[in-house]
Structures are given as structure tokens and as C-alpha cells.
Structure 1
Amino acid sequence: PLAAINNYCSGTVALVKSGRTTPDNLLPVLEKTAQQAVRAGMIIKRIREFVKRSEPKRQATRVADIVADAVGLAEIEARKRRIRIVTDLRSRLPVIYVDPVLIEQVLVNLLKNAAEAMHDARPNAVDPVIRVVVRLDSGFVCISVVDQGPGVDEATAERLFEPFYSTKSDGMGMGLNICRSIIESHRGRLWVVNNVESDGHITGATFHCSLPIGEPDGPSNGGSEAPTPQTVTGEL
């Protein structure tokens, strides 16, 4: 949201300086800026509550809405790196009972990490794409973020979700740790695997996020276990 606010404000300043604007043109942009400021405050509030071990504020939520909102925010960073984000969702998906603000932030973080990894590894790649794939799997909704980066080596994969461990020079090592904690608090799982072609060539990494279908402690997910992590091949 802060990146969106910065973009909206920069655009507004440019329009005012050019003298080619009217109050009617500026009003929608200012309203969007205010909405993103409210969203930023909400994210901070929910994450603070989560860190204090409060229960997620679950509500019936459409998976497509969470994905659309997360992609909308992540695209701001992705476009700067000339990376496209495409989604692959079924036309009909079940409602899930989650804290949409927290789950959306998990996806934004995964998409942002994917864009950074791809740009750092292949800054001159032709038409780089991040794919968001949503599928159903044994009582769970599985959201996968598929990138075209360098992949994750075995040693790094074992530590990637540890607190204070980061592969970035300026990283704090808390992002993925909090993301996994958020997903597990919803009785789901978050894991990463490499995308491996038939010849053994690694073409990127995929972060899988599984969330149970149905109300918390309801019959749809009672006793269910999140899907077992599997190696992802070029099929994704």
C-alpha cells in the first residue's frame, strides 16, 4: 500500500505541475490514495495483533478476491521490473474462512520475493512471468506462486523459514517466518519446492500455500491434514 500511495502522489504532483488537470480528475486519485492509507494501517494492526498471539479474525472470503487484491498490490513492484503476473483460477472456488488481510499480505510477500529473485537472477529476461495457480486438493485450497528465478538450493530451503535468516543483503529474515506462522494459524501449510524439468534443469521455485475449506473446526476440515509437499515439475 505504501508503494501505491507513493505512485498516486507522484502522479498527482506531475499532473498539477503540468497544469493539465482539474479537480474532477484529481478526486479519484486522492480517494484511492486515502483507501491505500487505510489498508496500510489495517495491515499493520492485524500483524501486530497476530504477533501478540491473537486469533486470526476469520470471515467467509472468496479466494478470487484475495488473489485479485494481492496481485493488484504486487503488480506495482513487478511492473518496475517489467515482470508480468498472470493468474490461473477455476471459475468456481469454495469460500474459505480466513483473515483476508493476513492471507493477502502473505501472497503479496511471496509475489514480491518472486519478482526480486527473478530480476536479480535474470535482469534481461524476455517476457518474465510469475504465475499464481489456485487448485483444490483434498479439502484444501492450494495457492501456488510460480516464479522463473534461480530456484532454492537444498541448504537454503531448510533454513528459509527460520526467523532472522535471509538470502537478501538488506533482509531482516522475518517475512517468510511470519508468513508461515500466519498460514499455520489457519491450519494450513506453506512450503517451497523447485520447478524441475525432465532433464533435471531448475527453472525457478514455487511457494505453495494450502488453506482448509469450510468453517474453522467444521466438518469440511475436521481431522484433515494439509497436502503433503511434492516436487513441482514443468507442468506448472
Structure 2
Amino acid sequence: MNTSDQVRVNQLTSPYSPFDAPQLPLDFSDYLSLLWRIDRHADQPNLVRYYLRCARALASAFEFDNRSLGRMVRTTEPGLLYATLSNVPFRETGRLMDAAARKSAIDQLVRLRADVLAIGAYQHDWVVGWPGSGILDPELRERIFATLFTALRSQYSHFGRLLLVIDIVLQELLMGTRRLADYSLGILIDHYDYPDPEDPEVRDLYRGDALDW
């Protein structure tokens, strides 16, 4: 994977937290990663609120908040977003002839994307400690760490680019176009109500200290 692709994949697998804010302009791929985050943290209300606001800002910028995809996201419970993306073709009345085939393709691509993303985001799950970090045998402990992190990350560089390839196809299937603009974080904050990572209230929300935000 070349350097630019690696940087892009790193952002797509990042937590998008106010403490690790996106550095690259955000596009449809980032939107899909944010939806995955909403599902992944469905049992954490503060993170659901945070990621929903991020996703809604992008939907507003891309002007599909009131289209089938945007409406589906607004009406679907956190934890079920990825599973229901494949229903988008049936909400587009002008393209029903091959809706079943589109549904099948979206379902498989979304499943694959979720798997690839889960592996790429794996390192972010263990902020303090990791599975096996308490094992007393130092040699065994180091081998476990090398397997879970070093080996996994080195192999991920070979197939992480799948995210970029999958997203090109998903964008066309879900949005009917290969062309969508990208937006810098500053523009999203200033014009589309994306959570400002420098805002103390946003940081409190992410940490779970401001559930009424």
C-alpha cells in the first residue's frame, strides 16, 4: 500500500474522537466508517450521540440527508445501521427493477467492509492493557503481543486498501454516483455543525461526562 493510501486507511479505521480528530478531508468513506462506529458503540449513549452528530454533518454536506440513505439512518436504531444499508435500493422508487440484485451486492460488500474495518480498528480497543497482558511468563506474553498487534498490523497493510476499493462501489450502489465532494474538518465544523474537537463540551460528551449534551 502506498503512503497516501495508508494515511487514508488510517483515518478510516481511526476512532474519529475529538482527541484524534481527522486530518484529511472527509468523504463518503468517512461517513461509512462513522456509521460503523455508531453500530459498534450502540450500548454507549454518549458515543452514539457523538458519532450521530458527526454522520449527520457529513450527510448535510453531501446533501443526502433527505434522500433514502439519510432517512434510513435517521430512523434506524444504533446497532442496526450496517445491517439495513442493503435496504436502500428498495427506498428508491425509480430504480426498483434490479433492487434485489443491488441489495445482495450491498449486503455482501457491507459485511466485508465491517470485517476489514474491525481488524483495522482492533488496536484502538486496547487503550489500557490487552488480552494476555497480565500473563506472568514474559516470553509467552511477548509472543501474544506480537501476534495480536505487530503481525496483525503488518499483514493489514496488504488488504486494508480493500476499504478504498469497496467504498467506491458502495458509493455508486447507495448514492448512484461516483462523484461526491470531500470537506475539510474546518468547513464541516463552521458550516455543517460537525462536533468541534477543541470544544470542551464535545470532549466531555465523548468521555461520557456530558450525557445531556
TM-score after normalising by structure 2: 0.30
Pick the structure with more helix per residue.
2
| Higher RCO structure, 1 or 2 (CA under 8 Å, sep 6+) | 2
Pick the structure with more strand per residue.
1
